[in-house]
Structure 1
Amino acid sequence: MTVASRRTLLKGLGAAGALAALSGCGVPSAYIAADERGAADRSARDKRLAFANWPLYIDTDDEDAARRPTLEAFEKRTGIAVTYTEEINDNDEFFGKISPSLMNHQETGRDLVVVSDWMCARFVRLGWVQEMDRARQPRVAKYLDPLLRSPHFDKGRRYSVPWQSGITGIAYNREQLGREIRHVNDLWADDLKGRVTLLSGLDEAFALLMQGDGVDITRWTADDFHRVCDRVEKLVRGRHIRRFTGNDYIKDLESGDVLACQAYSGDVIQLQADRPEIEFVVPEEGAELWAESLMIPNLARHKRNAEALIDYYYDPEVAAELAAWVNYVCPVPAARDVLASAKDKETAALADDPLIFPDGAMRKRLAIARDITSKERPELAKRWNGIAGL
């Protein structure tokens, strides 16, 4: 099974960054007040909903890729017909697609969307998503991983619920390198000169690098950021860092051109199926835990139906079925016991994979980074993009 990555790079500020900056400067046209976000809910009489997601981010039938077993089971159980589209290929691109409607207080045609945490933060700041009714989501309230319950951008997860989660850490070829990597600073050793890559996206890269400097990423400062940039800039000038990448770091690892790099846990699980010598490390000083989360856009006409679908995927049995297919960090820890009891040995083994269900020691080293505010973004993006060559 091959799962394409959905963690994409941020190329400059772009339209999304410009809008976020406007909202931070007090321009009222972008922000939507709480009492203007809802619309008459048609859920009771119109049993359907429109769900926009990333490609290859839901389970499919082994014999018919057009069929999605967990989604079909939801439709059968509830009578709600789901129009499922794999239209999100890039956070900024999708933002650009739906932002004109949201800014102008118009329907997007979507009841449920999945975007990365840093993009979720923009939607929340702009007031472009509706608060969910947790009374209608008892499974979310009961089973959501405590590590993911209250990110900086959405305290208490009032506006977002993780679809899947992941870890930004370090991947390396232990066989070729001939030693272990245990710290972020191990990337800067002389024997890795010219054989290291970093992620090019600001939002994807900065947290792990700060953790290597001992920074608490839940409360980092601009000074922390610039100190890291000073170091990275020096490493680029000295040609220690080979290049900055999107998800093409996988090809570099496979070819042997790169021996160590920033990487996403889900990608490495897939890579290890063919290349067991590739290891993924959560550094001793910590790694970033992130999520791609479900949100209900303003004026969605099937809000209750969307809330029901979200809660359905927090049933541990359903979460286990999804986790077994996508192989990202499961936001429902209770799904681990479900997988462990599976009759199929390969499926049962997933319960012991710390990149799907992080163990206690790993969990202590994971943190969700404070998001970059709209006020900070222009300065920080300019500095980072100048170093990364974006």
Structure 2
Amino acid sequence: MANQINPALMSQFASARTSRRRFIGGSAAAAAGLALGGSFLAACGSSSTPSPTSSSAAAPDDGKPASGSLRISNWPLYMADGFVAAFQKASGLTVDYKEDYNDNEEWFAKNKDPLSRKQDIGADLVVPTQFMALRLKGLGWLNEISDTRVPNKKNLRPDLLNDASDPGRKFTAPYMTGMVGLAYNKAATKRPITKIDDLWDPAFKGKVSLLSDMQDGLGMIMQSQGNSVSEPTMDGVQKAVDLVKEQKDKGQIRRFTGNDYADDLAAGNIVVAQAYSGDVVQLQADNPDLQFVIPESGGDWFIDTQVIPYTTQNQHAAEAWIDYVYDRANYAKLVAFTQYVPVLSDMTDELNKIDPKLGSNPLINVSDADKAKLHTWAALTDEQTQQFNTAYASVTGS
């Protein structure tokens, strides 16, 4: 059962999985852009914001149930024990499940040429982070997901279903989300942390860490300055960068991190850190003094998504998988394993059936009030990605 997973394995999952996703989603993309220049940007397509109409509509539905085999490419340690076997039994499909999606840019570099030629990439369903999914959509390399074949799409959280980047989730089906906010050691701070300005308290000099990922590092700072991540501008990014540089020069910031702030935070070397909610769930098991908070001015969501490449060999099987995942009872098993925030609404009852601690954990079963304080970055153009990441890298040194 998912609720019997070894806690040590769960902790290993949270650490390894998060560092890969968040590192490659930001500063590494900038490094690739800087290193490859125009050829990188050309490979990524137009610098215009991806259009919901850019990708491929699915072939007419013949009405027949899904059959045959399904090839899934997912991140390592992102699947509950027994989940694939249960789907195979319920659907009659055969699943070739691979944990070979190790980072977004690496995957794109490997698959962009065959995708551009509409050649099979060996996967019918892939799980990229949303920024990569939107890039694929903009290039026209995704098939539309049938509403008829995925009736459980109605179970998605309204904020995700209605996201402006893909209204109605026609091409990108959210898989897991997590919060980006502040973690602190209350035994060390000796007071609650509630806002971005708390990071700059002289009492915490040299004991603050920021995330090296541009979106996660700057997003909450931009919001504290009255700027939007859903409509980001270079001026807004630069204003946040300037503040970070000022605090770095003062010695306030100990270092910039992936999710490797965890040990320093637990040890007290860092007392306040920009952090991911999934990490803190794990850390609290050993140190109840560690707290996670969304700054008063707002934090960010990260989103991993399920997509169907337009080279899929079994569209209906991929849709059957997404529909199965979006059944609340099934999805609760995934949440129990990953410890991330559900993409489905009204999950309390199903989480409680597995473990009441899941349903009552505010870092997993997030309140509506906290959800309202979390925002998602807009789909960035390639030009914005390079400009924003370059500006932040000038301070972080990444």
Give the distance between the partners of 2:250 and 2:113, measured in 1 at CA: 44
**Residues matched between the structures, number:** 371
Shift, 1:40, TM fit: 12
* 2:70 alignment partner, one of 46, 49, 55: 49
Question: In 2 relative to 1, CA 101–244 (structure 1 residues): closer, same or farther, beyond 3 Å?
Answer: same
* Structural mapping, 1:341-380, within 5 Å: 342=353, 347-380=355-388
Instruction: List runs of 5+ in structure 2 lacking aligned partners.
Output: 1-6
Letter in 2 for 1:14: A
Give the distance between the partners of 1:200 and 1:228, measured in 2 at CA: 13
Confirm or deny that 1:313 pairs with 2:325: yes
Give the distance between the partners of 1:311 and 1:34, measured in 2 at CA: 21
Letter in 2 for 1:124: K
Give the distance between the partners of 1:20 and 1:58, measured in 2 at CA: 32
Shift, 1:152, TM fit: 3.7
Question: In 2 relative to 1, CA 147–37 (structure 1 residues): closer, same or farther, beyond 3 Å?
Answer: closer
Shift, 1:143, TM fit: 0.4
* Structural mapping, 1:179-194, within 5 Å: 179-194=191-206
Shift, 1:205, TM fit: 2.1
Confirm or deny that 1:195 pairs with 2:178: no
What secondary structure sits across from 2:359 in the alignment? helix
- Report runs of 4+ in structure 1 exceeding 4 Å deviation: 15-20, 32-41, 43-46
Shift, 1:195, TM fit: 0.8
Letter in 2 for 1:389: G
TM-superposition CA deviations, 1:34-66 (whole Å, max 9, x none): 45987999x968511111111111112xxxxxx
Shift, 1:25, TM fit: 5.1
Shift, 1:216, TM fit: 3.1
Cα RMSD after superposing both structures: 2.4
Give the distance between the partners of 1:336 and 1:291, measured in 2 at CA: 20
Hey, what does 2:348 align to over in structure 1?
Answer: 336
Give the distance between the partners of 2:105 and 2:342, measured in 1 at CA: 25
Does the CA contact (< 8 Å) of 1:144 and 1:332 recur in 2?
yes
- Give 1 or 2: higher helix fraction: 2
Give the distance between the partners of 2:226 and 2:252, measured in 1 at CA: 21
Confirm or deny that 1:178 pairs with 2:186: no
TM-superposition CA deviations, 1:80-127 (whole Å, max 9, x none): 111111112222122222222112321111111111122222112222
Letter in 1 for 2:190: G
Hey, what does 2:41 align to over in structure 1?
Answer: 21
Give the distance between the partners of 1:386 and 1:375, measured in 2 at CA: 17
Hey, what does 1:77 align to over in structure 2?
Answer: 90
Confirm or deny that 1:113 pairs with 2:121: no
Give the distance between the partners of 2:278 and 2:66, measured in 1 at CA: 39
Hey, what does 1:162 align to over in structure 2?
Answer: 174
Give the distance between the partners of 1:136 and 1:36, measured in 2 at CA: 14
Does the CA contact (< 8 Å) of 1:8 and 1:90 recur in 2?
no
Letter in 1 for 2:272: A
Does the CA contact (< 8 Å) of 2:229 and 2:377 recur in 1?
yes
Shift, 1:382, TM fit: 1.4
Hey, what does 2:105 align to over in structure 1?
Answer: 92
Give the distance between the partners of 1:152 and 1:124, measured in 2 at CA: 14
Hey, what does 1:150 align to over in structure 2?
Answer: 162
Confirm or deny that 1:283 pairs with 2:295: yes
Hey, what does 2:22 align to over in structure 1?
Answer: 8
Give the distance between the partners of 2:56 and 2:101, measured in 1 at CA: 28
TM-superposition CA deviations, 1:123-178 (whole Å, max 9, x none): 122222111111111111x2000121233432321111111111101111111111
Give the distance between the partners of 1:216 and 1:236, measured in 2 at CA: 23
Does the CA contact (< 8 Å) of 1:131 and 1:159 recur in 2?
yes
Does the CA contact (< 8 Å) of 1:8 and 1:91 recur in 2?
no
What secondary structure sits across from 2:148 in the alignment? helix
Question: In 2 relative to 1, CA 264–285 (structure 1 residues): closer, same or farther, beyond 3 Å?
Answer: same
Hey, what does 2:218 align to over in structure 1?
Answer: 206
Confirm or deny that 1:241 pairs with 2:221: no
Give the distance between the partners of 1:25 and 1:218, measured in 2 at CA: 17
Hey, what does 1:231 align to over in structure 2?
Answer: 243
Shift, 1:200, TM fit: 0.8
Confirm or deny that 1:221 pairs with 2:266: no
Does the CA contact (< 8 Å) of 2:182 and 2:293 recur in 1?
yes
TM-superposition CA deviations, 1:298-338 (whole Å, max 9, x none): 21111110011001011110111111111100111222112
Shift, 1:213, TM fit: 1.6
Hey, what does 2:334 align to over in structure 1?
Answer: 322
Give the distance between the partners of 2:39 and 2:271, measured in 1 at CA: 38
Give the distance between the partners of 1:169 and 1:270, measured in 2 at CA: 15
Question: In 2 relative to 1, CA 115–39 (structure 1 residues): closer, same or farther, beyond 3 Å?
Answer: farther
Shift, 1:295, TM fit: 0.7
Does the CA contact (< 8 Å) of 2:76 and 2:101 recur in 1?
yes
What secondary structure sits across from 2:127 in the alignment? strand
Shift, 1:33, TM fit: 6.4
Q: Percent identity?
A: 33
Give the distance between the partners of 2:295 and 2:192, measured in 1 at CA: 11
* 1:256 alignment partner, one of 268, 291, 294: 268
Give the distance between the partners of 1:386 and 1:283, measured in 2 at CA: 25
Question: In 2 relative to 1, CA 307–109 (structure 1 residues): closer, same or farther, beyond 3 Å?
Answer: same
Give the distance between the partners of 1:18 and 1:388, measured in 2 at CA: 24
Give the distance between the partners of 2:210 and 2:379, measured in 1 at CA: 19
Give the distance between the partners of 1:355 and 1:17, measured in 2 at CA: 40
Confirm or deny that 1:131 pairs with 2:149: no
